Every structure is written in structure tokens, then in C-alpha cells.
Amino acid sequence: MTRVSGRDVADPSRDGTPERPEHEARAAMTISGPGLVPLLRAGLRVIVVGFNPSIRAHQTGHYYAGRANRFYTLLYSAKLTPRLLRPAEDALLLEFGIGVMDLSSIPSARAHELKRETFSSGADLVKKTVSQLAPTAVCCNGYGVFTALTGTKPTRAGLQPGAAIARASVFAVPSSSGAASAFTAERHAGWLELGEFLGADVNASSPGGTLASPGL
């Protein structure tokens, strides 16, 4: 089992999937920091899959912690969270039915600094995780993530017609990284479509009602 935000959830690596290769573990250790633990549980609305942690995310132990990353802004704009979260609050994503994991745990300044095989090797674990946890949808945060998982290129930003992982519908959007700012409008449209597809009222399901108020 993997302990995630006070919950025990299934750890696919304990069910026949190899542990992280030794060379990946050594590479991650060259940059100090706690690293990232997948935020996962059963019954999620969506699992967001990224390439790999940024150096800042690895150092802080929080997903999408880079100052230029638009991840939390995009979630809020798509009404997937009731207020704008900070990276330090990433564990709260589970309360709103959002899980997060990466194809690789090796940190880097840019995803293209890692070999393509690094992401391909993580695809099987992601697909097994999705099969076990059965989210409504998978959102590939980066078109290359979709390619690593499916072997094909996305046809558009948003829902990918005919694509599925287990029973989960698959979305693909340009990376939320600041490096993908040229795709701002396309990225925003893709996330809005995901929010409309899931259609859940996060304000109604906020724990204790305390997270529904606007502002930080």
C-alpha cells in the first residue's frame, strides 16, 4: 500500500510491476529534496499525468511548484477546484477528486532533457494504476504524455475521440509549463472541456464547506 494524504491506496508496483529502475533512483538523488509521491486514491474524477517533476517540485515535494507553471490556475479556471490552490496545498486535490502522477520521477528543468525511453517505461505503471483505481478520466498534461501512453499523437486539445485507458476517457492538453505559453489559448480550451465533461460541483462537495470561499 502507498500512504497518500492519510489514506492507504493500492500501490501498483506491488502487483507485478517492477520498482523504479536503479538508474532513475540514482538520478533523482543528485538533486536534493523530498521528491514527489503520487496523489492517488480510488474513485477519482480524473488522474492528471505529467512528464516528470521540475527541479523546484522535486525540491519542495509539491506538484507543479514552478513559478511559471499554470497548473493550479487552469484547474481553477475549469472549475475543477473551488478556489485557486497553492502548490503547497496539492494534497487537497484529492478532496476534489483529482489525482496526480508522472511518467517518471526523475527531476529536470525541462522534460526533453530526459530520454524518450524514460517516459515510455513509465507508461505501463500509469495504465495499471488507471485500471486499478478506475477514474472517470485521464488528463495527459502535455501532448507527449499522450503519445507515451497510447503510441499515437493527439488529434486535438481536449477529449481524444476513441481513446481510452481501461474505462477512463482520455484528454490531452498542452503542458501547463511556462515553456508552453505559446499554446495558452489551446491549453485553456482543453482544460475547460475537461471541466465541462466531468461536470461536478466542487463547491457542493468541499470538505466542511471551508474550501469553497474565494481567495487564498
Written as nine digits, the cell of 106 is 526523475
Written as nine digits, the cell of 71 is 497548473
Share of the chain above pLDDT 90, in %: 62
Written as nine digits, the cell of 48 is 492528471
| Cα–Cα distance measured from residue 113 to residue 155, given in angstroms and rounded to the nearest whole number | 25
| Cα–Cα distance measured from residue 34 to residue 211, given in angstroms and rounded to the nearest whole number | 27
Collapsing DSSP states into helix, strand and coil, what is residue 48? strand
- The mean of the pLDDT values for the chain is 81
CA 132 to chain centre: 16
CA 77 to chain centre: 16
Q: Which 8-state DSSP code applies to residue 123?
A: H
Closest-CA residue to 9 (of 110, 91, 65): 91
> What's at 115, amino acid-wise?
K
pLDDT for res 30: 64
For the residues 106-135, what does the mean pLDDT come to?
78
Q: Residue holding cell 507485478?
A: 16
Greater model confidence, 33 or 126: 126
Complete domains list, the chain, with CATH: 44-203 (3.40.470.10)
| Cα–Cα distance measured from residue 213 to residue 185, given in angstroms and rounded to the nearest whole number | 27
39-71 pLDDT tens trace: 999 999 999 999 989 899 999 999 999 999 999
